[in-house]
Structure 1
Amino acid sequence: MAALLRSTDQSLKEFGRNVTISEHPLARLMYYFDCICAVMDVDKMEYEGIDSLRKYHEFETLEEDDIDNLVKLCYELSPKALENAIFQDDGMCEDSNNNFFELKTVRNNFLVSESVLIGGIEMDVKKVMTYKICWLMKNWVRPMDYFAARLIRISSGQTSLPGYGNGGFEKHVVQEESSVPGKKPSKKKGKLFGSMK
């Protein structure tokens, strides 16, 4: 079953909070996964370590097998696969780079599914997320590009190789107007993205 999202609908209930995220691609991908966990009922995937994959502030502590699982999950939970649950819409993001909305308040412009089929598993859509292209680039496109060699290794069934460790993480952290489930993002201006190196 599907609903539609109209960006001018005043009854939409939005929520989220500002977060600080490291610029490291692993932290960024964990943040993407955390946002998707707010949108989708990922518990149906029956992966015991989901909570640890969401703790983007603790990205340096993630084990190699967990990084592999994160990369696989984020590949399966790609923006394309979730195109009926997450939407690129700058206007609905307002001052943030992404925003969340209650599914039950969503009507009219975007086709929103109540469930999505991922890897043969039907997963319920719990909330709707809108994002700006810059959010998607920083939190999924660039991190997945960074982990491309790892994804190839995983898909070929190889075991861990030297050079895939999680050492040498940069400590560069920036404050940005992205949101995660919680309170509504603030309307403050002047927070900038750091550059991905």
Structure 2
Amino acid sequence: MAYYQKNEYDFRRYGNSVNVPNNDIARCMYYLNCVCHTIEYNENNIQRYCNYENWRQLSDAEDYLVFVLCLTLSPDEFEDKCFVESPELCGSSSNAFYEVGQIKHSLLAVQSVVIAGRTRHVNKIMAYTQSWMKSYYYEPMSRLVARYRPQQPSTSSSAPGCVIS
């Protein structure tokens, strides 16, 4: 006797529209907020760095920590696990969150992901469009890489008449 079991997913879309300030740190904080909606991650006082509406309250050192957290929690860690590029699932938004119940048909969602050597439980999945990922991760991170790149030492002298050899 053969037994066939077809797994089923029960997806429920949830969330609301938000206004993210037009600032690279704020956009990266919004990205971190989205990460924290999809996985269980409560380290590094991360909730402070997810509050994109209060991005101006961060110090320069905290701005840098947001940058480092985004590098650590890069989309590469989540793609096809709990982040899914799917304009169809986003509808009129550039991203959308889904709660996942029982598992359904051909969509694969994992129960956990490994980040920095630690297993993280997946709470939800996020569908996104390429424009969302560009706006909230790739473009701001590119500008922040330039901001935090070590400055090359100047070959010009700061004092008149001095020669550097």
Classify the TM-score, shorter chain.
Answer: 0.7 to 0.9
Equivalent position of 1:77 in the other structure = 73
How large is the Cα RMSD of the aligned pairs? 1.9
SS in 2 for 1:117: strand
Mapping 1:77-116, distance limit 5 Å: 77-83=73-79, 84-116=81-113
In terms of mean alpha carbon deviation, does 90-99 or 142-151 score higher?
142-151
Q: 1:147 is matched with which residue?
A: 144
Contact persistence 2:25–2:66 (CA under 8 A): no
| 1:88-129: CA deviation from partner (whole Å, max 9, x where unpaired) | 000000111101111225523332111111111111111000
Cα distance in structure 1, aligned partners of 2:77 and 2:35: 11
Instruction: Tell me the SS of whatever aligns to 2:75.
Output: coil
How far residue 61 of structure 1 moved from its aligned partner, in angstroms, is: 1.1
Unaligned runs of 5+ in 1: 154-197
1:60: which partner in 2? 56
SS of structure 2 residue aligned to 1:20: coil
Point out which structure has higher relative CO (alpha carbons under 8 A, 6+ apart). Answer: 1
Structure-2 residue corresponding to 1:18: 17
Measure the CA separation in 1 of the matches of 2:149 and 2:117.
21
- What pairs with 1:33-48 in structure 2 (closer than 5 Å)? 33-43=32-42, 46-47=43-44
Aligned length: 143
**Against the structure 1 CA distance between its residues 61 and 14, is the aligned structure 2 distance closer, same or farther, given a 3 Å change threshold?**
same
Matched position secondary structure for 2:76: coil
Q: 1 CA distance for matches of 2:130 and 2:65?
A: 25
1:138 corresponds, among 132, 135, 138, to: 135
Cα distance in 2, alignment partners of residues 70 and 26 from structure 1: 7
Tell me by how many angstroms 1:147 deviates. 0.8
Task: Report if aligned partners of 1:27, 1:56 keep a CA contact under 8 Å in 2.
Answer: yes
TM-score after normalising by structure 2? 0.79
The answer to whether the Cα contact below 8 Å between 2:28 and 2:140 also exists between their aligned partners in 1 is yes
Partner of 1:117: 114
Query: Could you tell me which residue of structure 2 aligns to residue 194 of structure 1?
Result: none
Cα distance in 2 for partners of 1:112, 1:62 equals 34
Q: CA deviation at 1:65?
A: 2.2
- Percent identity, aligned pairs only, is 27
Q: Structure 2 matches for 1:149-188, cutoff 5 A? A: 149-150=146-147, 152-153=149-150
C-alpha distance in 2, partners of 1:105/1:147? 40
How far is 1:152 from its partner?
A: 4.5
Contact kept in structure 2, 1:88 and 1:131, CA below 8 Å: yes
The runs of 5 or more residues in structure 2 that have no matched partner are 1-6, 151-165
CA contact (8 A) 1:42 1:123 kept: yes
